[in-house]
Structure formats: structure tokens, C-alpha cells
């Protein structure tokens, strides 16, 4: 196992120790090979549709994050946003490697703006060639079945790794693919899905790691948990790859009435916390049980971070905060950082559109002060 080398080459123990003054004594007893990153997902390049980042992240956003004590942003990207193709037609394999240098430059400038405020940036392929956990864009092949899709996947990461070859691990890391899973029909959001076979996930992650490291041997790489981010990936424990879990358990709370989760949102049972939902009992203890495999991974030297967490706007605010406090405390007690989905928007700190809270005016935005104060505790 090469975890000692992982820690040495990434230089992350130093980064983790630098945060020790903000962590409890219990947290300091647990060493996580990834820093205690705390921050937000930014949706500037989340949608595959061009022109959809008119409400993009600003210099002020990054300054506010830093001023409030956060140190991390994750940028989930849809690859169609930074390639050239005829958007009036379905994309083809011939289009997928036609990189748009202007858009690539724009993404690099976004990274630079975040770095300027001392924020670490995680670049993530939310929609990779041949796979996205969300339907709604026709893919020309399947990342988990087709060799051509895998070759394109490696080429995309090679391009990004080369572009950021001179950037340090304090500035940037590479999150391979968002919430990997099998899906019966890539174009049906509600089709059957399941975990990626472990050996296949290892093959794809290992080759991507080698591709990225060919441009900078110290580049930091993270893999999202298997089965839509829920499951630890033991098949890559020996590789120099961190792992990213999710803060959406149980989905009854985090995704109440979310239309991409519930085919009929009226079927979603009303969430409570703690208590019984849909005939099942939930509490802080069930959250601890859910995260036990991730906590064990941290204790055994695997770097773990929670790359997404939070609650869609329909969940009652008091239920959200009660549940989220338990999630964040369990993560923090095990030195696992987090990134709220998102900063501004339906899950966010600003302009969430929740109807059951009193917002604070923040430079023309609507600030959820109670959520901010909860995040700052951890």
C-alpha cells in the first residue's frame, strides 16, 4: 500500500495540521490524508447547455467565502460546455475531443479567481464522456462499457492536467467523475442503476490517475464513492487517490420533493428529524452507522472528503438544520471536510428560494444566516 507515499507526495499533512487550531481535540486525534476542506460547489459549468452561466461566480463570491472562513470550492463541469459541436444535433464521438480553448481559458480564470482568495479548487467532471448521473443530454457512448468513451475520458483529464501542470496541490485537485453508477438507460433519469464493478472502477480510476500524473507527478486526484457516491471504493485503497463521499443520507430529508429523485414528488413522505420517515427510524446514530465505512477508511490512511452535501429547498428549514447539524458533526469528529451544494441557489447559502425562513439582505442577495452559522461551526 502506498498511502505513506500519497501523504508525502501531496504534502497534505502540513495542510491538515495548519487547520488544527480550528478543530476539536477529538478531531485532532484523527489524521485525514486530505485537508479539512470546507466550502461550496459552484455551478458555473454544471449544465451542458451553452450560455447557462449568466449567473456565474463573482470575485465578491470568493471574497465572501474566504471572509466567512471557508477554504474550498468544487467546480462540477459538463464536458459539452468546453468543446465545440453543433448543439442543434446530438453530440458524436468525433466531437468529444474538439476542445474549445476559449472556454478552457474561462475555466482556468475561474480557478485563478478562487485561488486569489486562498481557496483550493476541485475540478470535477459532473458529466464525463459517456456518463452522467443525471439524464437530459444524449451521450454518444457509455463510459463503463465502451473503450472509446474511456479513451476520451482519459484525454479530457490529460488536457486539464496539462493545463494546470504548474499549479500546486494547495491550488487544485482533480475529482474524476461525479457519482459513478451503472444505469440501464443513460437517457432515462429513473431507469435502474447500481454500483460499478470494483475491478472496472479501479481500471478507469488508475488509468486516469496515471494520465493526470504524467503531466505533474504530484497532482492530487480524488474519486467519488461508488454507487452514486454512497459506497467506499476498497478496490483503489492502494492507489494514491482520495475518496469523496456524500452528505445526502437519508434522501428523504436531503431531497424532499426533488423532481429528479421523485418521479412523482407528491409521493415523497414529509421529513422529520430525528424520527420515523416512510416506516424507517432515523437519528444521529443512523448517520454514524452510514458513515462507518468512510470513517474506517480515514482511520486506515485513506483521504476522505464530503464533496457534496446539503438539502433541497422544499425540506422544512428547521428539519434541514437539525439533520444537517448531525451530518456535519459526524463528519467533523472524523476530520472529514465538506462542500455544500451549492453557494447560490436551491441548496445554497444565498438565494435558495426557501419559503419558510427570514432572509438577511446581503449586498442584494438573500442570506440564510442560520445556515451560515451552522457551517461555520464545523
Cβ atoms of 337 and 305 within 8 Å: the answer is yes
In a domain, 323, yes or no: no
In degrees and rounded to multiples of 5, residue 223 shows phi and psi of -120, 130
The radius of gyration of the chain from alpha carbons, rounded to an integer in Å, stands at 20
pLDDT: is 11 or 108 the higher one?
108
Average the pLDDT over each of 13-17, 101-105, 371-375 and give the range with the smallest value. 13-17
The pLDDT of residue 94 is: 94
The pLDDT tens digits of the residues spanning 232-263 come to 999 999 999 999 999 999 999 999 999 999 99
The answer to whether residue 94 is domain-embedded is yes
Kindly indicate the confidence band of residue 183, based on its pLDDT and cuts at 50, 70 and 90. Answer: confident
SS3 of residue 76 by DSSP: strand
pLDDT over threshold 70, residue 214: yes
pLDDT at 4: 40
Which set of grid coordinates corresponds to residue 282? Answer: 432515523
Inside any domain, residue 3: no
- Rounded to 5°, the CA angle 65-373-66 comes to 15
What average pLDDT does range 106-114 have in this prediction? 98
**336-370 per-position pLDDT tens digit:** 999 999 999 999 999 999 999 999 999 999 999 99
**Distance (Å, rounded) from C-alpha 186 to C-alpha 63?**
38
Answer whether residue 5 shows pLDDT above 80: no
Give, rounded to a whole angstrom, the gap between the first and last alpha carbons of the chain: 31
226 pLDDT band, cuts 50/70/90, is very high
Structural domain includes residue 64: yes
- Residue 357 in grid coordinates: 425562513
**Structure confidence at residue 16 (pLDDT):** 42
Residue 42 in domain:
yes
The span from the CA of 10 to the CA of 244, in Å, is: 17
pLDDT at site 23: 53
Helix axes 284-299, 317-333, angle to 10 degrees: 30
Structural domain including 138 reads 38-246+292-315+329-341
C-alpha–C-alpha distance, residues 231 and 246, integer Å? 9
Q: How far apart are CA 125 and CA 93, in angstroms?
A: 17
Q: Is residue 1 over pLDDT 90?
A: no
Domain with residue 150: its CATH number is: 3.20.20.80
3-state secondary structure of 32: coil
Collect all residues with Cβ–Cβ distance below 8 Å to 294 and sequence separation of at least 6: 225, 232, 243, 245, 304, 334, 336
Burial 76-106 (b: 16+ CB within 10 A, else e): bbbbbbbbeeeeeeebeeebbeebeeebbeb
- The contacts of residue 177 (CB under 8 Å, 6+ apart) are 124, 125, 128, 131, 143, 153, 223, 224
* Mean pLDDT of the 176-182 span: 97
Residue 153: inside a domain: yes
Alpha helices in 41-146 (DSSP H): 59-67, 101-116
Scanning the chain, the segments in alpha helix (DSSP H) are 3-10, 12-18, 25-28, 59-67, 101-116, 147-163, 198-213, 226-229, 251-254, 284-299, 317-333, 369-377
Within-domain flag for 374: no
- The whole-number average pLDDT for the span 255-275 is 96
Confidence category of residue 188, pLDDT binned at 50, 70, 90: confident
How many of the other CB atoms lie within 10 Å of CB of 250? Answer: 17
Q: Is the pLDDT of residue 51 over 80?
A: no
pLDDT 10s digits, 118-177: 999 999 999 999 999 998 899 999 999 999 999 999 999 999 999 999 999 999 999 999
Q: What rounded mean pLDDT belongs to the chain?
A: 92
**Is residue 56 in a domain?**
yes
From the list 139, 117, 120, 121, the residue with the least C-alpha distance to 130 is 139
Q: What does the pLDDT average to over 53-78?
A: 93
Provide the number of structural domains found in the chain.
1
3-state secondary structure 280-341: EEECHHHHHHHHHHHHHHHHCCCCEEEEEECCCCCCCHHHHHHHHHHHHHHHHHCCCCEEEC
In this model, does residue 12 exceed pLDDT 90?
no
Task: From residue 68, give the alpha-carbon distance in Å to each of 196, 373, 375.
Answer: 38, 9, 10
Amino acid at each position: 500500500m502506498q498511502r505513506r507515499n500519497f501523504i508525502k507526495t501531496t504534502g497534505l499533512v502540513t495542510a491538515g495540521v495548519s487547520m488544527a487550531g480550528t478543530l476539536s481535540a477529538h478531531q485532532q486525534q484523527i489524521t485525514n490524508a486530505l485537508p479539512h476542506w470546507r466550502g461550496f460547489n459552484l455551478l458555473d459549468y454544471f449544465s451542458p447547455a451553452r450560455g447557462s452561466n449568466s449567473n456565474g461566480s463573482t470575485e465578491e463570491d470568493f471574497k465572501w467565502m474566504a471572509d466567512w472562513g471557508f477554504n474550498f470550492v468544487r467546480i462540477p463541469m459538463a464536458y459539452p460546455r468546453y468543446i465545440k459541436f453543433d448543439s442543434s444535433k446530438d453530440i458524436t464521438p468525433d466531437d468529444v475531443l474538439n476542445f474549445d480553448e476559449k472556454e478552457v481559458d474561462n475555466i482556468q480564470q475561474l480557478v485563478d479567481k478562487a485561488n486569489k482568495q486562498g481557496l483550493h479548487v476541485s475540478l470535477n467532471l459532473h458529466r464525463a464522456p459517456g456518463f452522467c448521473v443525471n439524464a437530459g443530454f444524449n451521450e454518444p457512448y457509455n463510459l463503463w462499457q465502451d473503450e472509446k468513451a474511456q479513451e476520451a475520458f482519459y484525454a479530457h483529464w490529460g488536457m486539464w492536467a496539462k493545463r494546470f501542470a504548474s499549479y500546486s496541490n494547495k491550488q487544485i485537485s482533480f475529482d474524476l467523475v461525479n457519482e459513478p453508477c451503472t444505469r440501464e438507460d443513460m437517457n432515462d433519469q429513473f431507469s435502474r442503476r447500481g454500483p460499478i464493478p470494483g475491478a472496472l472502477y479501479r481500471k478507469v480510476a488508475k488509468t486516469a490517475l496515471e494520465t493526470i500524473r504524467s503531466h505533474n507527478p504530484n497532482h492530487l486526484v480524488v474519486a467519488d464513492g461508488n454507487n452514486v457516491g454512497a459506497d467506499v471504493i476498497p478496490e483503489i485503497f492502494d492507489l494514491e487517490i482520495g475518496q469523496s463521499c456524500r452528505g445526502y443520507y437519508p434522501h428523504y430529508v436531503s431531497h424532499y420533493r426533488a423532481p429528479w429523485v421523485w418521479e412523482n414528488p407528491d409521493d415523497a413522505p414529509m421529513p422529520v428529524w430525528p424520527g420515523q420517515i416512510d416506516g424507517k427510524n432515523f437519528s444521529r446514530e443512523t448517520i454514524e452507522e452510514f458513515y462507518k465505512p468512510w470513517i474506517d477508511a480515514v482511520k486506515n490512511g485513506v483521504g476522505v472528503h464530503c464533496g457534496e452535501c446539503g438539502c433541497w429547498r422544499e425540506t422544512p428549514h428547521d428539519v434541514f438544520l437539525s439533520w444537517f447539524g448531525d451530518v456535519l458533526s459526524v463528519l467533523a469528529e472524523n476530520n472529514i471536510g465538506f462542500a455544500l451544494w451549492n453557494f447560490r441557489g436551491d441548496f445554497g447559502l444565498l438565494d435558495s428560494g426557501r419559503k419558510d425562513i427570514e432572509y438577511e439582505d446581503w449586498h442584494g442577495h438573500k442570506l440564510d444566516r442560520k445556515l451560515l452559522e451552522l457551517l461555520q461551526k464545523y
